[in-house]
Structure formats: structure tokens, C-alpha cells
Amino acid sequence: TELKKVIQGIPKAELHLHLEGSFEPELMFKIAKRNKIVLDYASIDSLKEAYKFNNLQEFLDLYYIGAQVLLHEQDFFDLTWAYLTKVHSQNVVHVEVFFDPQTHTDRGVPFDVVITGIHKALEKAEHELHISYRLIMSYLRHLSEEAAFKTLESSLPYKDWIDGVGLDSSELGNPPSKFVNVFKASYNYGYTLVAHAGEEGPVDYIWQALELLQVVRIDHGNRCLEDEALVKRLIEEKIPLTLCPLSNVALNVIQKMEDHPALKMLEIGMIATIHSDDPAYFGGYMNENYYETAKALHLNNSQLKQLAINAFEASWLTRETKEKHIAHVK
Ligand code: HPA
Ligand code: ZN
């Protein structure tokens, strides 16, 4: 259709993507087989059948199980490379992606194995696909701050390969305030800070992410519209929100796409951006997220382009590079 062509034609930046969430069942079965791991599911179809979630935790339970088949550097390379070639086909030209070191190191997979596989795929994509990238290490918020500190320490030999730190996993009951010290330490080591907040958690968690953690972007942040003072602050300080519409529907953060706050946020001047979160689990990559949002909210072409421009603005590219990409969107 015309809308799909328009979306394909727009160069895009993806800023909210969990590499472990891009693990397609087909690749999961392939890697399980070569690692001699027997999955609890008899077939790719029966695994896909299980992808029905009532909330964030039900998704996370499956997401962590899927990640267990990743053991070797080649596995992390293949996972990352599959994602990058997929989004390359969707005209994504810049990515800032998350990985969850603790999901792997807690199973005995060395930090070095994880990051080397990911790094090699990102470098290959930069050279061969001309996709620029940043890498963000996420702390799992259901674990302790002490555990996050251990992860920070493990990351230091690879500091040049990592641009930022994030905060993900089970939000309710695990407020940003739990991680104030490790975020401060991460900042002092030169990492740029982001955090998931206001996906399932209350507006107060978004305030905490801003004031206590001092993040430069909020991942999700859907619930900010409940608080006028917070909206004012996000607009004044130009704090971007990395929204993930298909994720929000899949995890019941919203009831249906028509209820998504993206358009409202654009209209009031927030730096709203669109991403895929965990595309293998939620039914779509970047183009599908743009398409379903545009269709449900009746976005016009200029609003679609604004979403793409916002993502370049929200990225950690240099001013000059942002301008180059933005000129291509227009
Ligand atoms: N929210 C929190 N943690 C996550 C998500 C998410 O959407 N995806 C992967 N880990
Ligand atoms: Zn996320």
C-alpha cells in the first residue's frame, strides 16, 4: 500500500531494542540444536503459540527462557547480525540497542563472550550495511543494585564498546531509586544514562528516572500524560520518549492501538519516537510499528516524518550527522 511505501522510504533510527527480544523462534531452534539444548517446545509453531501475554512479567518469563540457548560468541553474533540485516531491509540507518549482560553472566556465560559476539556483528553492519550504532548495557531491575555494580565492573574492560547504560525488566516494585548509586557510578565512568519508566510503573517512576538517575531519555514513559507538571518538564528539557506501540498492545499497557498516546505527545510538542522493543515477541519490527501506529491514529505524512526526525534528534549521533539524516527524511 501507499502508506507502507512511505514508511519504507523514510530513513529511520531505532533507539529502543533489546537484542535478546529480537531472537526469532527459527534462529532460537537452530542455535538450540547446534548447542545440543532441548527446548520445552516441540516446534517453532508451538513456541509461537506461547507468545500470548497478559502483562510485562509473563513476557519476561519467556524472554529469559529463550535467551538460555545463547552460549557462545557465535550465538551472540548471529542474534545481533540477524536483527541488523532485518532492519537494514526496512531502511533503518542508525540503531542504539540494549543487551542484558546479567541474563547471560548469571548462567555462567562470560561477559567477554556476550559482548564480543555483539560487537563484531555491530562492526560488520557498520562496514557492510552502513548502519551506525551505539550499544547500551541494561541493568536488570529485579536484581539488586549490588549485582548491577558487579556488572558495571565487568563492563569496564569493554568501556570503549559500550555507550550507555539502561534499566529494564520487571518495573513494578523496582523503582529507579533502587539504582541511584550505580547510575551515578556509571555516569562517572562515561556512560550515557537511560531507563525504562512509566511502562507499567507509575508516573512517580518517571520523575525518579529524571531527578534521581538523571537520564537523557525515558524508555516508554507512556504514563507521563497523567501528570501535567511532568509533561511540562519533559517538553522544556526536550527529554525524548522511546515509545513501542506493538509492545504496548502485546503487554496490555494499552487496550488497543487506537488508544496509543503517540499522537497526543506529538501534538503537544514532546519528542516522541517509535521503536520495536522486542520484535520477535511482539509481532513487528520498525516498519510494522510505524505502520500500525499510523493506521490506528490516522497519522499524516508530516507526522510520520516528525517521528523519524525526532528519533534522530533523540539519538546520540553528532549534531552534524543528525542533520544529514534529517535532511534525507525531508
Ligand atoms: N520492559 C522492561 N524490560 C524489558 C522490556 C520491556 O519492554 N523488554 C525487554 N526487557
Ligand atoms: Zn524495552
Q: Which atom of ligand 1 is nearest to the CA of 168?
A: 3
21 lines ligand 1 (CB under 6 A): yes
Does residue 59 sit within a domain?
A: yes
- Between CA 300 and CA 189 the distance in angstroms is 43
196 lines ligand 1 (CB under 6 A): yes
- Between CA 83 and CA 245 the distance in angstroms is 19
| Distant-in-sequence contacts of 228-232, Cβ < 8 A, 24+ apart | 230/203, 230/206, 231/268, 231/270
Q: Identify the pLDDT of residue 1.
A: 86
Ligand nearest to the CA of 99: 1
Give pTM, 2 decimals: 0.98
Please state, as a whole number, how many other Cβ atoms lie within 10 Å of the Cβ of residue 254.
15
As given in the structure block, the three cell numbers for residue 2 are 501507499
Write down the residue that cell numbers 560487537 correspond to: 119
For the chain, what percentages of helix, strand and coil (3-state, to nearest 5) are there?
Answer: 60, 15, 30
Closest among 11, 131, 24 to 70, alpha carbons compared: 24
Decide the pairing of beta strands 192-197 and 217-220: parallel
Q: Identify the pLDDT of residue 268.
A: 98
Does residue 57 sit within a domain?
A: yes
Q: In terms of C-beta density within 10 A (0-12 exposed, 13-18 middle, 19 or more buried), how is residue 228 classed?
A: exposed
199 lines ligand 1 (CB under 6 A): yes
Closest among 145, 75, 59 to 107, alpha carbons compared: 75
Closest among 158, 238, 142 to 191, alpha carbons compared: 158
Does residue 211 sit within a domain?
A: yes
Structural domain that includes position 322: 2-22+50-329
As given in the structure block, the three cell numbers for residue 208 are 525518579
Does residue 145 sit within a domain?
A: yes
Name the residue of 58, 168, 218 to mutate for ligand 1: max ligand atoms within 8 A of Cβ: 168
Please state, as a whole number, how many other Cβ atoms lie within 10 Å of the Cβ of residue 91.
16
Q: Is 277 known to sit in a ligand binding site?
A: yes
pLDDT tens digit sequence for 257-269: 999 999 999 999 9
Whose Cα sits closest to atom 4 in ligand 1?
Answer: 169
Per-residue pLDDT for the chain (330 aa), expressed as one digit of tens each?
899 999 999 999 999 999 999 999 999 999 999 999 999 999 999 999 999 999 999 999 999 999 999 999 999 999 999 999 999 999 999 999 999 999 999 999 999 999 999 999 999 999 999 999 999 999 999 999 999 999 999 999 999 999 999 999 999 999 999 999 999 999 999 999 999 999 999 999 999 999 999 999 999 999 999 999 999 999 999 999 999 999 999 999 999 999 999 999 999 999 999 999 999 999 999 999 999 999 999 999 999 999 999 999 999 999 999 999 999 999
201 lines ligand 1 (CB under 6 A): no
Decide the pairing of beta strands 132-140 and 241-243: unpaired
- Between CA 117 and CA 111 the distance in angstroms is 10
Catalytic residue flag (residue 199): yes
Q: In terms of C-beta density within 10 A (0-12 exposed, 13-18 middle, 19 or more buried), how is residue 171 classed?
A: buried
Does residue 165 sit within a domain?
A: yes
Does residue 137 sit within a domain?
A: yes
Ligand nearest to the CA of 278: 1
Q: Is 106 known to sit in a ligand binding site?
A: no
Catalytic residue among 14, 20, 171, 199: 199
As given in the structure block, the three cell numbers for residue 247 are 509492545
State the distance from the centre of ligand 2 to the C-alpha of 186, rounded, in angstroms: 20
Determine the Cα angle at 285 with ends 237 and 287, to 5°.
Answer: 80
Q: Is 18 known to sit in a ligand binding site?
A: yes
Amino acid (1-letter code) at residue 173: G
Does residue 312 sit within a domain?
A: yes
As given in the structure block, the three cell numbers for residue 258 are 487506537
Domain count, the chain: 1
State the distance from the centre of ligand 1 to the C-alpha of 219, rounded, in angstroms: 9
Q: How many residues does the chain have?
A: 330
As given in the structure block, the three cell numbers for residue 289 are 510499528
Name the residue of 55, 59, 97 to mutate for ligand 1: max ligand atoms within 8 A of Cβ: 59
Does residue 40 sit within a domain?
A: no
Q: What is the CATH number of the domain that holds 188?
A: 3.20.20.140
Taking phi over 0 as left and psi of -120 to 50 as alpha, with beta for the rest, 162 belongs to beta
Name the residue of 61, 169, 251 to mutate for ligand 1: max ligand atoms within 8 A of Cβ: 169
State the distance from the centre of ligand 2 to the C-alpha of 195, rounded, in angstroms: 9
CA 146 to chain centre: 24
